[in-house]
Amino acid sequence: MVAKKVMLGARLIQDGTITPDQLNDALEYQRRRIEESGRRIQLGTALVALGYCTDEDIANAMSRNTGYDLMSLNSNPLDMEAANLIAPDVAQRYHAIPVGFDGERLLVAMRNPNDLIAVDDLRLITGREIRPVIVSDDELAAVIEQFANLSSTVEATPDELDEKIPSFIEETDTADKPAVILTSQIINSAVRTGASDIHVEPQEKTLRIRFRIDGVLHEMMTQPMSIFPAVASRLKVLANMDIAERRVPQDGRATLKVDDRVIDLRVASLPSAYGEKITMRLLDRSARNITIDELGFPPNDKSRYMETVSRPYGFLLVTGPTGSGKSTTLYATLAQLNTPEKNVITLEDPIERRMNGLNQVQMNERAGMTFASGLRSILRSDPDIVMIGEIRDRETAKIAVEAALTGHFVLSTLHTNDASSAVTRLGEMGVEPFLTASSLVGVIAQRLVRVLCPRCKKAVVIPKEKMLATVPDFPFEPDENSVTVYQATGCLACNNTGYKGRRGVYEFLQVDEEIRNLILEHASNHEIQRVAMAHGMVTLRGDGFQKVRGGITSMEEMLRVIV
């Protein structure tokens, strides 16, 4: 094993990819990892982790050292007939997966083609001679993960109220197995790919399955329409819905365990021309709560925002359309404010994330527990900080403003296009300008843009004249004649979308004395925005341009999200 390390390291030094000092750093990094975790990592993994080279550099060097062919899985799609010759757990165990055929031989992409035990085991399992090929580690990991997505089991678990929820596994003996397996595969695949929503849509001849990933819908599979009734019944039973009722919309919920993750599932059915469309929202209980530092605020706005939320009382609004990350911003803020000295109470519908130290209250309109009635009740529970999931009506808005005026810090959301419009919206809901001016301390408007995949994004230099012809307000420095931006291309790591993950784009309106006077004078949105910009506010579009310049997102994505 030592000779192999030196040979790979020597090859990379010979190619000029790394220096001898960097090789020594990587060997030391390997040693520390073994001491800390008891698990050995490969030299290539250490070099990539330290940023000294890329997975492609390692794959090229290994190909030249071993004599095995180098293959790009981006250019050569996975042959599912070959892949299905082994089980996903075998692929994960050996870090290898069949990708195609070479005559009678099986082409197997491997992390370590010199692993003779793995080659012999795969020969016995598949009944074919094995021809190893080398691929980069990140491509291999992405393909094995995609292959495994349709195999893991999904278990239904009792929810927090200890209600009995039927399990897929319990019903496989008496129900149609194809529908059980397909339903499990759909949910498992959605969780693995990071989807926020699943759309099960009956069409005239086929059943279409779509996932919303990073805010954009992707068609993942189609199935024969004949399986739809069984799939719909399975999902409705799981969500404790009436399977006999198909004429009216229904809502349900379930708590599932996928691998080691607990997932809350909100299910809605809607009668359509060819059957019930079923939409599922996935909420991962085990997802880590992100911090304010990770939200992506512009540096100046972040310091102003931290100053605003540190006040003992006031009214803070987060605005934007559905799916723009408002709840994430609120949870990150509550995590910052949540200390043993503070009594924090939230009113939510639904409770999207559970946080230790918060008193989180679920709304139940059928039982008369609305935002307005709940807010009245919690104000008698001695709160310091109150979070209201959404300002939906005049009564809730007025109580929230009054709570802010009586010594509470109140956070909530509102649906407006920009920060300054929130003032007008409160007025339309019946809140008097003097109340708004006295209570409002800040408004965030936000959107979510997809982040360019770091593996495949492509730099493009655009001349100033060409950029201004398509985007007239793009900010150029006086001496700039061109700008470098990045475009999406697509690879296995990002499912050929060109994007992986999302980042917030923000506009923070801090309410100071001059803004308060404008509110009292019934000033227009444009006037409030003009003064806020003069005081240092960066608009949504301005922050979007900064993220385009920084290579975080593409111009096309920014213009798609922000008008």
**Confidence class of residue 150 from pLDDT cuts 50, 70 and 90?**
low
The answer, yes or no, to whether residue 456 has pLDDT greater than 70, is: yes
| Residue whose entry in the numeric block shows the structure tokens 């070959």 | 82
Give the residue, 219 or 289, on which the prediction is more confident. 219
pLDDT, residue 149, reads 64
Does the pLDDT of residue 431 top 50, yes or no? yes
9-18, 223-232, 420-429, 470-479: which has the minimum mean pLDDT?
9-18
What would the pLDDT profile of 518-562 be if each residue is shown by its tens digit?
A: 999 999 999 999 999 999 899 999 999 999 999 999 999 999 999
d(Cα 340, Cα 495) in Å, to the nearest integer? 44
Lowest mean pLDDT among 35-49, 160-174, 459-473, 484-498: 160-174
**pLDDT over 90 percentage in the chain:** 51
What is the distance between the alpha carbons of residues 216 and 224, in angstroms, rounded to a whole number? Answer: 24
Asked whether the beta carbons of 134 and 69 are under 8 A apart, the reply is yes
Average pLDDT over residues 95-100: 89
pLDDT given for residue 151 in this prediction: 52
pLDDT in tens, 345-367: 999 887 888 888 899 998 888 78
pLDDT band at 233 (very low <50, low <70, confident <90, very high): very high
What's the pLDDT at 171?
43
Distances (CA, A) of 549 to 8, 454, 459, 546: 37, 15, 11, 5
What pLDDT is attached to residue 164? 40
CA-to-CA dists, residue 69 to 63, 116, 189, 270, 492, angstroms:
6, 17, 31, 52, 19
User: Taking 50 as the threshold, does the pLDDT of residue 375 lie above it?
Assistant: yes
CA distance 222 to 210: 9
Q: How does pLDDT run across 247-276, given as a tens digit for each residue?
A: 999 999 898 888 778 888 999 999 999 999
Q: What is the pLDDT of residue 89?
A: 83
pLDDT tier, 285 (very low <50, low <70, confident <90, very high otherwise) = confident
Nearest to 156 by CA among 90, 92, 81, 252: 252
Burial class (CB in 10 A: 0-12, 13-18, 19+), 20: exposed
Q: At residue 169, does pLDDT exceed 60?
A: no
pTM of the model: 0.74
Closest CA relative to residue 539, chosen from 505, 515, 514, 511: 505
Q: Does residue 156 register a pLDDT over 60?
A: no
Concatenated DSSP letters of 134-175:
E--HHHHHHHHHHHHTTTS-EEE---TT------HHHHTTTS
Higher pLDDT, 174 or 332: 332
**Is the pLDDT reported for residue 2 higher than 50?**
no
Distances (CA, A) of 422 to 320, 375, 444: 10, 21, 9
pLDDT score of 175 more than 60: no
Contact predicate 341/362, CB 8 Å: no
Cβ 474 vs Cβ 483: under 8 Å: yes
Give me 492's structure tokens.
Answer: 């296995």
Mean of pLDDT over the chain: 87
Instruction: Residue 72: count other Cβ atoms within 10 Å of its Cβ.
Output: 13
pLDDT higher than 90, residue 507: yes
- CA proximity to 306, closest of 291, 321, 320: 291
What pLDDT was estimated at residue 79?
81
